[in-house]
Amino acid sequence: MIDIKFLRENPLKVKENIKKKFQDKKLVIVDEVIEMDKQYRDAKLEGDNLRSLKNDKSSSIGPLIRDGKKEEAEKVKEEIKELSSKIEELELKEQNLGQEIRKRMLTIPNILDDSVPIGKDDSENVEIEKFGEPVVPEYEIPHHADIIESLNGLDKASAGRTSGNGFYYLMGDVARLHSAMLSYARDYMIDNGFTYCVPPFMIRSDVVDGVMSFEEMDAMMYKIEGEDLFLIGTSEHSMIGKFKDQIIKENTLPLTLTSYSPCFRKEVGAHGIEERGLYRVHQFEKQEMVVLCKPEDSMTWYNKMWKLTVDFFRSLDVPVRTLECCSGDLADLKVKSCDVEAWSPRQKKYFEVGSCSTLGDAQARRLGIRTKGENGNYYVHTLNNTVLATPRGLIAVIENNYMSDGSIKIPAALQPYMGGKEVIRPSK
């Protein structure tokens, strides 16, 4: 949510930003907010004036009574009663207008960074840089589901019976490799100075409203029936929500946190659920990083954060690239975002394994997260980035470490988490 003062003073810039995101239907909302804001401020000013007048009249009653002017005092009391009624009407008008303004402001996209490329959807995202040499071996690499099944590591049929499409059982050494990657990701972030957290896996609706747009929520999140609770789609949601309505000490910034959680997503829409494999599923596990910082430091942290993910995958012998997300591919709260994509030697192309975003003060403004500086309180900036989301990350490691005999070479960084095991071999 942008600052209404900014919108009030820069309506054309806000409209131009909406056009960059190809959301022209929202242009009218800017004019609606400006008109409602004027009515709101007029009502507030009138209410303030009437309250001042009411106070003056109230203070005159005592002297009138002492001077024996009872009739005049009663007349003033009637005037005060009328003022009170009018003030009550204005306060209700303020409240209603405030709610309508906020409802509309929540739908206006955040102001994009000037460096964001303009494009309608993810097909117009722009490659930034490649890290590691993408290799296609001379031997064929099967579909990742076939590889994992050959290792006795996957059972989707049973998961279909227990939970339906989009779920899975991981088993044996593959399940252990999956856990090893998460443990390594946790320690990797701790070693890079982040504080490890395990957050709540459910959050209330006011936190959901604070961290994402309604469109995202509707497409992603599962609601707990009969409760004001949602299953998280990423631990960023509950990690940012941790600071709701808090004033953070400025000398503690930046706050650098890394969190583990299971994640739950509907995955509705054009992509849908992958029938066969593990790339797009309803349930996965994730190591996330979240930073709260001063506004002037947010871009520095943004660049630090995506590089941490790049270095993480390179330590697992996985070539990756970074992809700048274009304007139409950015969620409404984001200022700038890039994806980290891993090389798939089977498909001979890259696929997304992580995403890094800076959201400016949008989430902090929605949730009331501030810090106190020399010139008063101000909103912090929030950033988030995927360290590892798996089984998607598991796919990248398996494909890039698949050997001609059907076995999987375990990257050296993961071997201590696998009891020293160096290779996972297919069952005979």
- Each residue's pLDDT expressed in tens, for the chain with a length of 428 residues: 899 999 999 999 999 999 999 999 999 999 999 999 999 999 999 999 999 999 999 999 889 888 888 888 889 999 999 999 999 999 999 999 999 999 999 999 999 999 999 999 999 999 999 999 999 999 999 999 999 999 999 999 999 999 999 999 999 999 999 999 999 999 999 999 999 999 999 999 999 999 988 777 777 899 999 999 999 999 999 999 999 999 999 999 999 999 999 999 997 655 556 667 899 999 999 999 999 999 999 999 999 999 999 999 999 999 999 999 999 999 999 999 999 999 999 999 999 999 999 999 999 999 999 999 888 999 999 999 999 999 999 999 999 999 999 999 999 999 999 999 999 999 76
Whether 4-105 and 122-424 share one fold: the answer is: no
- How many residues are listed for the chain in this entry? 428
Give the span between the Cα atoms of 316 and 413, in whole angstroms: 7
19-28 contact pairs (CB < 8 A, 24+): 20/112, 20/116, 20/118, 20/327, 21/109, 21/112, 21/327, 21/328, 21/330, 21/332, 22/120, 22/327, 22/328, 23/109, 26/107, 26/108, 26/109
206-240 as b/e, with b when 16 or more CB fall inside 10 Å?
ebbbbbbbeeebeebbeeeeeeebbbbbbbbbbbb
SS3 6: helix
Architecture of the domain delimited by 4-105: Orthogonal Bundle (1.10)
Alpha-helical segments (H) within 276-350: 298-314
Q: Give me the pLDDT at residue 216, please.
A: 78
SS3 416: helix
Q: Give me the pLDDT at residue 269, please.
A: 54
- The radius of gyration of the chain from alpha carbons, rounded to an integer in Å, stands at 28
With a CB cutoff of 8 Å and minimum separation 6, the contacts of 96 are none
Q: List the chain domain ranges.
A: 4-105, 122-424
Q: Is 380 exposed, middle or buried (0-12, 13-18, 19+ CB in 10 A)?
A: buried
Q: Give me the pLDDT at residue 215, please.
A: 75
SS3 287: strand
Q: Give me the pLDDT at residue 317, please.
A: 94
Whole-model pTM: value is: 0.90
CATH superfamily of 122-424: Bira Bifunctional Protein; Domain 2 (3.30.930.10)
